[in-house]
Structure 1
Amino acid sequence: MIDVIIIGGGPIGIACALECEKSNWNYLIIEKGALTNSLFNYPKNMTFFSTSEKLEIDNIPFISKNPKPNRDEALEYYRRVATSNTIKINLYETVNQLQKNNDHFTVTTNKSTYQCKKVVLATGFYDIPNLLSVSGEDLPKVTHYYKEAHPYSMQDVVVVGASNSSVDAALEIWRKGGKVTMVVRGETIGDRVKYWVRPDIINRIKEGSIDAYFNAEIIEIKPLEVIIKTPDGLKHLPNDFVVALTGYKPNFDLLEQVGVSLSNDGIKRPVYNKDTMESNVNGLYLAGVICGGMETHKWFIENSRIHAKLIANHLKQVFSNK
């Protein structure tokens, strides 16, 4: 019987594992992809909003040559933390079922079945995109993830959204020779866009280097064009690729499967104790961005790394009473 199973091998999952190490608990991280899989899937040239010290876990120094670290530096840091502390983690193993059985849990994966006393869900949100739900979204030219600009050079590219990821993609693709058109549901570029990037995209739109349609949405994607609805009527745009960066959502199915209650206001925020991070399911804890439900912009590494210590402090009390 394992003491604690941590589902999710991102920075917060690793932080939880380090707390388990300190208390000599028998634990295991189960991660369906690579170590820090979400960070690995970030764009290659991505720069964090946070400074390196705010991305540190367990007071382990994160040294960066830049004021704000990039994706590769973050991967190196968390990889070093994981390997130097020899954390127990199974990579490329997917949790298919999570059940509560009286005083323990059964975790069934594509490779094995485990029994454990407690579970920490630190699964993040980056693996399930918010779909446009329009005809043609399943065409090969449509992607909900952006890695790098080179494949879009000399192509007609529609970038959907006005968040940090959308703005970064639009600017990089334009600079690498792509013809970029942004389709934005709102009235302007998002207020949460990085302060050193927002003026850049606004100026590129203003000068006409990047086309942008605001208060607009895609209604159909075809092999050679995209049809969008704008305040001025329908527009038919020549198109080679659609980069639909419309956000992502947590794995609500896993939460509901095990009995975690979700708010019914559309945000689907899971119920948990803010002092202990324990959900309404006894023995099941939440950590990281999953705590925000659909409000994925509420939690980041810098403000959720404390979750690991809150969980560990509560588990110490629970285990000492048995």
Structure 2
Amino acid sequence: MRLNTRTDKRIHLDTTYDILIIGAGPIGLAAGLEARKAGLSYLIVEKGCLVNSIYNYPLNMTFFSTADRLEIGGIPFPSIHAKPTRAEAMEYYRRVADKFELNINLFEEVQHLEPIGEQYHISTNKGSYVARHVVVAVGFYGIPNLLHVPGENQPKVRHYYFDPHYYYRQKVVVVGANNSAADAALETWRKGADVTMVIRQPELGSIKYWTKPDLENRIKAGEIKTYFNASLTEVREREVDIQTPEGKLTLENDFVIAMTGYQPDFSFLERIGIKLTEDDKRHPQYHPETMETNLPNVYLAGVICGGMDTHVWFIENSREHAVKIVQHIVQEEKVAQV
């Protein structure tokens, strides 16, 4: 390793990793575990903190899945709850990383990927690396789906919801129909907010079975005002406009919590050369048996595989991607040695 004095970045070109893994979420960690088990050299590079997406979940979030379905590398996930919490998940993945001393660089963002012969030169904001294989295991929680309405750029509009206490005695509009919107509406209402939900559909969407009846009862009782078949059309400093089937409605408002979902960083995939479909789904190209993309020896793992279909892949059904990828790499190494 040497120091580039012009950019003050550390250059690691004297070490060639078998695998460089982009993303230290559960699936990126699973890929590291599989590489370690196979005796391959690897490095995990993460632009945020460990399991960054889970860290950005709401403070009191409970997973829909049971703990055993969130396990990686065959390591038991103990939980005192039927459904584990955000805090338990972060503790579990920290313990996994520590127990196996996983090789992880945090707060380091990959900026460029360049093929050099049969290897890849990976540039980050902190250094440069060489690897024979690359696994892209980034999530989709970093880029929110925008409302595209006037006033959306105001500080009062939040695309991430964390702690309900912040909204005590505030007039809050929650946009969305699914789990995140339901949690935000119920939790802020319980902490003393005046909550109005704005939902494009004629009914509530996909909501956890233990949450949906609670929200339905709050709506029926008039405790959480709800407008179906409606949309938020403008945000101003002290009020918002909502288009309802009966016409435009203007409400006093302090905060808008837009739980409209998130999307992968398609520009990053395109920048490194991974092909995407040109339709609205933006599905990245990869082989489902090996997870290899159109770029030789570059693989996809986790929710990124679904493109805009962000409700297809989860921790529980994509952790096997790590197994497929490492098995394919090991098999190719064996063939190359014959």
Query: What TM-score do the two structures reach when normalised by structure 1?
Result: 0.98
Equivalent residues in 2 for 1:1-322 (5 A)? Answer: 1-190=16-205, 192-322=206-336
Taking the aligned partners of 2:199 and 2:117, their CA distance within structure 1 comes to 48
Q: How far apart, in 2, do the equivalents of 1:102 and 1:217 lie? A: 52
For residue 62 of structure 2, give the secondary structure of its aligned residue in structure 1: coil
Query: For residues 144 and 289 of structure 1, what CA distance do their matches in structure 2 show?
Result: 20
**Is the Cα–Cα contact under 8 Å of residues 162 and 184 in structure 1 kept in the other structure?**
yes
State the identity %.
54
Partner residue, 2:13 = none
Deviation string 1:246-279 (CA, Å, 9 cap, x unpaired) is: 0001111111112222122201011111111111
Q: Give the letter aligned to residue 177 of structure 1.
A: G
Question: Runs of at least 4 residues of structure 1 off by over 6 A?
Answer: none
Q: Please say which of residues 230-239 and 79-88 is displaced more in the overlay.
A: 230-239
1:321 partner SS: helix
Distance 2:115 2:266 in 1: 16
Name the SS of the counterpart of 2:184 in structure 1: helix
Looking at structure 1, the residues matched to 326 and 78 of structure 2 have their Cα atoms a distance apart, in angstroms, of 26
Structure 2: where are the runs of 5+ without partners? 1-15
Is 1:220–1:228's contact at 8 Å kept on the other side of the alignment?
yes
Provide the rounded CA distance (Å) in 2 between the counterparts of 1:223 and 1:26. 53
Q: AA paired with 1:90?
A: N
Q: Which amino acid aligns with 2:169?
A: M
Closer, same or farther: CA 102–184 of 1 in aligned 2, 3 Å: farther
The residue identity in structure 1 corresponding to 2:113 is L
Distance (whole Å) between structure 2 residues aligned to residue 262 and residue 187 of structure 1: 32
Over the residues paired in the alignment, what is the CA RMSD in angstroms? Answer: 1.0
2:141 partner amino acid: Y
Unaligned 5+ runs, structure 1: none
Provide the C-alpha distance between the structure 2 equivalents of 1:93 and 1:265, rounded to a whole number of angstroms.
31
Change (3 A) 1:217 1:101: farther
Distance 1:100 1:219, change over 3 A: farther
Q: How far off its partner does 1:98 sit?
A: 2.3
Q: Deviations over 1:99-143 (max 9, x none)?
A: 333422222111111121111010011011111111111111111
Change (3 A) 1:81 1:75: same
Amino acid at match of 1:224: R
String of CA shifts for 1:206-236, please: whole Å, max 9, x gaps.
Answer: 1100011111111111000111111111111
Aligned length: 321
Q: Which amino acid aligns with 2:310?
A: T
Do the aligned residues in 2 keep the contact of 1:100 with 1:258 (CA within 8 Å)? no
Structure of larger gyration radius: 2
Contact conserved, 1:164 with 1:193, CA < 8 A, in 2?
Answer: yes
**Structure 1 position 24, deviation (Å):** 1.8
Please list the CA deviations of residues 140-197 of structure 1 after superposition, one character each: whole Å capped at 9, or x if unmatched.
111100001001010000111011011001000000000001111111110x210111
